[in-house]
């Protein structure tokens, strides 16, 4: 189950109340960007439009400017280019 934004709270409740329904739980974007509440106009602009976000736009939503987060983004980008194993 994937919980994005406020859906992270919902996903956690489902996992707690009905664990038999959840094999894996992924929480994404469940806190304000960078851990600090703000009014960044790009977030709803990217997240709510009907077209598919670019890789850079998606990274903007999921990774904040902190060095550790940027390191995670580098690893994420590398994983997209890694050969797939089955």
61-85: per-residue pLDDT in tens? 878 778 888 888 888 888 888 777 7
> Alpha helix (H) ranges present in the chain?
7-17, 42-47, 55-62, 67-81
Residue 32: predicted pLDDT: 58
pLDDT at residue 38 is higher than 70:
no
The token pair that represents 41 in the structure block:
């106009």
Confidence band of 31 (pLDDT split at 50, 70, 90): low
Within 13 Å and on the Cβ side, how many CA atoms surround 62?
Answer: 18
User: Counting Cβ atoms within 10 Å, is residue 65 exposed (0-12), middle (13-18) or buried (19+)?
Assistant: exposed
pTM, two decimals, is 0.49
Whether pLDDT at 21 is above 90? yes
């Amino acid at each position: 189950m994937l919980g994005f934004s406020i859906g992270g709270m919902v996903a956690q409740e489902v996992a707690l109340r009905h664990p038999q329904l959840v094999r894996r739980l992924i929480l994404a974007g469940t806190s304000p960007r960078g851990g600090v509440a703000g009014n960044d106009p790009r977030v709803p602009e990217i997240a709510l439009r009907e077209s598919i976000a670019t890789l850079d736009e998606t990274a903007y939503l999921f990774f904040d400017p902190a060095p550790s987060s940027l390191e995670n983004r580098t690893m994420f980008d590398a994983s997209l280019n890694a050969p797939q194993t089955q």
